[in-house]
Every structure is written in structure tokens, then in C-alpha cells.
């Protein structure tokens, strides 16, 4: 990871291992526990988030998918602290974040540490069951296998690293395995700018079979990130 002076916000040269907790997922995606009940849920690019572990403990059926899940827990654990330390250090003073929820970078650290520690404990027993290794734009799941799919902090935020074609193919693949709805958060880049891919995706003939809706939420961390993108079959 490097911090560049060329851009306004946090600049990452790779996808970092930062996890989020169940309450954070509820805020980002406008969810409640009832929304997860009685239907299988897919969490894509879930990394070291504790969403899968916490939702499973509450009786929900959640599958987490990430390229890091081919690694053993002892290979993942050292990266968690390093990535978190560097991100917290580089966030200080940035104008692209609102701190009403976390209060400060150190306050955010508490959530991130809780997430990755809970994840690691669950991953040790759930690897290959609740945690499936792989990488977009390909998913090793059956058609319409999940009622709800979630994708956070991969699509759109890494726009400068992930091509438009990657986004389009990922959406097609995610909708192939999703019966009811796909939710993506956030729809801005790490510079807190609206993704330039959004309008192109809406107008892409390959995606004409889907309805795109931006749904407001009461949560905003990156400036302008107070909504998620809902995609449903027509």
C-alpha cells in the first residue's frame, strides 16, 4: 500500500485486508437480521469481515467468498494488523471521511480489530464450508443459489485498478447466482467521488435485464457513501 499526493483521498495499490462487523454491514446495506433469515446470503470480497461469523451465530445461512480463503489462518493473521495499522495512519487528516459513527481513526480501529479477530476464530473451523476461495469475475456457485448477495469495498472504490469490463463481468456473474437482489456498497471511489462506471453500467446492453436503484441509507463514512446500489432482475 502506498499513499500518493496525486489524489485527494486514501490511495491503495492493492486490495487491503480490512474487515467489518455485522452492525457495520447493517448500516452500509440498510439491513436487519430479519432480512437475512430464511434465504441463503452470499458475501463477496468479504475478506476478514466478521459478518459471516456473526450472522451464522444468529442462525442465518451466509457464504463468504474471497480470494484469500485459499490461505491458512496463520497466513492471514499477520496481514490483518499490518494493513490496519497503515490504513489508520494514512487516514488521519483526510477530508474524504466523515467521523460521526467512528469518531476517529482510532475509534474505527476498534471495529476493524473486532472484525478480523472474530473472523479468524470462525475461519479456523468454517474454512471450505462457510468460507469459499475464488476471485471475481467467476463464482463457483449454482445459478440462483442465493436469495441476496452483498459486495462491499471492492467494486467502484477500486475503480482506478479494476476495469470497466471487470465490473460488467462481475455484475453479470453475481446476478447469475442471485435470485432476488444484489447490493453493492459504496458507489464512490476512495477519493469520495461518484464512480464513473455507474452510468455506463446502467446503459450497457449486456445488463439490460436488470433494474438499478440507488437506495439512501443513514450511514456515511466516505463522503457521499450514504447509499447502496440495488440490482434486481426485471
- pLDDT, position 155: 96
Strand pairing category for 210-216 and 227-233: antiparallel
- pLDDT, position 75: 95
Strand order in the sheet with 227-233: 131-133, 62-66, 41-44, 146-152, 178-185, 227-233, 210-216
- pLDDT, position 16: 73
Q: What fold does the segment set 22-233 form as a domain?
A: Rossmann fold (3.40.50)
- pLDDT, position 14: 52
In sequence order, what are the beta bridge partners of 127? 131
Strand pairing category for 146-152 and 41-44: parallel
- How far apart, in Å, are the Cα atoms of 111 and each of 8, 76, 134, 204? 25, 18, 26, 37
Where the chain has pLDDT below 70, the residues are 1-15
- pLDDT, position 150: 98
Contact 24, 111 (CB under 8 A): yes
Q: How far apart are CA 79 and CA 42, in angstroms?
A: 24
pLDDT in tens, 107-118: 999 999 999 999
73-91 and 105-126 helices, crossing angle to 10°: 170
Domain ranges of the chain: 22-233
Quick one: which H or E segment has residue 171?
helix 164-176
Amino acid at each position: 500500500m502506498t499513499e500518493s499526493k496525486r489524489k485527494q483521498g486514501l490511495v491503495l495499490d492493492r486490495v487491503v485486508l480490512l474487515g467489518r462487523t455485522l452492525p457495520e454491514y447493517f448500516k452500509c446495506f440498510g439491513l436487519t437480521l430479519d432480512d437475512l433469515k430464511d434465504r441463503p446470503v452470499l458475501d463477496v470480497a468479504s475478506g476478514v469481515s466478521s459478518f459471516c461469523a456473526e450472522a451464522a451465530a444468529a442462525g442465518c445461512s451466509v457464504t463468504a467468498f474471497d480470494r484469500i480463503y485459499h490461505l491458512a489462518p496463520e497466513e492471514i493473521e499477520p496481514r490483518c494488523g499490518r494493513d490496519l495499522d497503515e490504513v489508520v495512519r494514512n487516514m488521519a487528516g483526510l477530508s474524504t471521511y466523515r467521523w460521526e459513527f467512528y469518531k476517529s481513526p482510532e475509534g474505527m480501529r476498534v471495529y476493524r480489530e473486532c472484525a478480523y479477530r472474530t473472523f479468524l476464530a470462525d475461519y479456523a473451523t468454517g474454512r471450505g464450508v462457510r468460507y469459499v476461495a475464488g476471485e471475481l469475475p467467476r463464482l463457483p456457485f449454482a445459478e440462483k443459489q442465493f436469495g441476496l448477495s452483498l459486495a462491499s469495498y471492492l467494486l467502484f472504490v477500486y475503480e482506478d485498478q479494476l476495469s470497466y469490463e471487470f465490473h460488467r463481468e462481475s455484475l453479470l456473474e453475481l446476478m447469475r447466482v442471485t435470485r432476488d437482489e444484489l447490493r453493492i456498497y459504496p458507489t464512490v471511489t476512495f477519493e469520495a467521488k461518484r464512480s464513473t462506471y455507474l452510468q455506463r453500467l446502467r446503459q450497457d446492453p449486456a445488463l439490460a435485464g436488470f433494474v438499478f436503484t440507488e437506495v439512501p441509507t443513514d450511514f456515511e463514512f466516505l463522503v457521499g457513501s450514504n447509499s447502496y446500489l440495488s440490482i434486481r432482475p426485471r
